[in-house]
Each structure stands twice: as structure tokens, then as C-alpha cells.
Amino acid sequence: MSILVVGSVALDTVETPFGQAKEALGGAAVYFSYAASFFNPVRLVGVIGDDFPDEHLELLKGRDIDLSGLERAKGATFRWKGRYDYDLNEAHTLDTQLNVFETFAPKIPESFRDSEFVFLANIQPRLQLQVAQQVSAPRIIACDTMNFWIEGAYDQLRETLKKVDILVINDAEARELAREPSMVKAARQILKWGPSTLVVKRGEYGVLMFTDHSVFSAPAYPLEDVYDPTGAGDTFAGGFMGYLSTVEDINDASIRQAIVFGSTLASFNVEDFSLGRMKTLEMQDILDRFAEFKLLSHFEEVEA
């Protein structure tokens, strides 16, 4: 099964109360690809500048991530600088330098057009739509976005959503998109606009999933130490889509499993800066923590 991701490839500088990372490998497409590559090969479409270190490319290639859609443009790579205070759920953006990302127009290589699982990471909604239109027979198109586009490109985003099966966003974004403070009402509204599934990321409080007939709630893994939440959302999406790409039947049950795999991968990612923890991760670690998730929210029925 083929997984395609389109999104940012970045050099991130991040400060948290526990330390900092300077110009470390990051970007939505990178976190997504690395996580998804535990399940199936990934095809990445993005752009880097001429200053992007080769060692990062080697790391991705070593994970069966096809970089033939990664354009190298003249100029500097996209850079993001952020800080987290003790509330690790909230990133404070200190600086965004779009550089070569500013004029990024995703070109999907011919050999990527048959991709069945497509993740449109957080980029301009018009570009997301162009990507969705370039794939020939997708089984699932999932999409992320951010407040910047909800506020600045609302109509375009609504157009893009018509092509999206699963929208994966955080809770503040869901409320802002639907212009509705109640999450349940916001979900009902968003599900009328295209996606058949809405996945709401709630940081350390876990994930809620809404369809037109069900609601599912998964906890986040209660970690003792969270060093750097950067990329948690994209790592979640990678684990989520990665697992879905392995199942025959995409239904309520497999989407729930995918949510727990996404949460599992995200819980590892936040244990270190950049992809530090992901680099040492083995499939068995993922399966062990997946099993712990089951215990975490299991309870017995009571006799009526």
C-alpha cells in the first residue's frame, strides 16, 4: 500500500522547560513520514533549500521514505522557531522563515499518482486541493490545517474539505473552523462539509473521533516526562494513516485502532527533541505500548 504526504520539511529551533534544540530536523511531512514508515513505505513531496544537511536525507531514505518528490530549490530551507512553557499543549511561535517554502507548488511525480493513502499536511488549502486532484484513485485522503488558514483562507479550505475523507485537527481549530464553541456541535457541522470522520487532537488529553453515527475517545499515554511536543500532531497522523494502510477494511473498528497507533507513536515522539526518540524506536516498542493503551481505559461492565 502506498502512502503519500505533502507538507513542510524544516529545520526547527525549539525551547522547552527541559532544554532546547537548534536547527534540528523537523517539519510536518518529516514527522508524518517517519511515523508512517513503521507500517508501509512512504512517498514524500516537499521542498528543501541548498543548506539542508545530507545526513537528514540519509536518515529518511533509511526508513523506506521515497524522496523523489522532494524538490531541492535555490535558497534556504524553511525554518520554524518555537517555545513551550510549562503548558506543553501550547506552542508559542517565535519566528517562521518560509524561505523556499514560500513559493512551494507541490508537483506530484507520475510514479506517486497511484498513492492510495494521502495526507495533506498543513499547507495552503488551495495547494492541498491541487494535490488531492492529482492522485488518481485514493482510498483515503486525510488533511490537517491551522488557525492561519482557517482565518485567512476560509473559503478555499471549505472547498478542499469537499475532497477530504478524514480531517485531523486540534480542538481549538475545530471550534474555530465551525465557529462553534461546543465540540459536539462543531463536529456535526464539519461532518456536513465533506469529511466522513473528524479526528480532534487534544494534546495531553488525548483524541476524540466523530463520525455521523459514533463518537470515540482515546486517552493520551500518561508520560512522566515530555521533553518536546513538536511534531506530536504529525507523528499521530503518520501512525494513524500508516496503520490504516495495512488494513483490508476501513471501518469504525480499524479507525479506532489507527487512532491508538497514532497516539502510541506520538507518545514516543514527545520523549525527546526532534526525531531523537523515533530514531531508536522498534516495532515491538510500538506494539507493547499499544497494549498498554488498551489497559489504560479498560473497565468492567456492571451487573444490571
Site residues for ligand AMP per CB under 6 A: 8, 10, 12, 26-28, 80, 96, 122, 230-234
Cβ–Cβ < 8 Å for 6, 43: no
- Minimum distance from CB of 168 to ligand AMP (Å)? 10
CA 3 from chain centre, in angstroms, equals 13
Concatenated DSSP letters of 232-281: HHHHHHHHHHHHHTT-S--SHHHHHHHHHHHHHHHHHHTTSSTTTTGGG-
In terms of CB distance, is 82 or 116 closer to ligand AMP?
A: 82
Nearer to ligand AMP, 130 or 196 (CB): 130
Instruction: Compare residues 122 and 160 and give the one whose CB is closer to ligand AMP.
Output: 122
Taking the complex as a whole, the smallest distance from the CB of residue 142 to ligand AMP amounts, in Å, to 14
What Rg do the C-alpha atoms of the chain give, in angstroms? 18
Contacts of 240 (CB under 8 A, 6+ apart): 142, 168, 199, 258, 259, 261, 262
Least distance to ligand AMP, CB of residue 288, Å: 24
Minimal distance, residue 146 CB to ligand AMP, in Å: 7
Q: Which is nearer to ligand AMP, 92 or 162 (CB)?
A: 92
Shortest approach of ligand AMP to residue 36 CB, angstroms? 14
Question: Based on CB atoms, which residue is closest to ligand AMP, 98 or 215?
Answer: 98
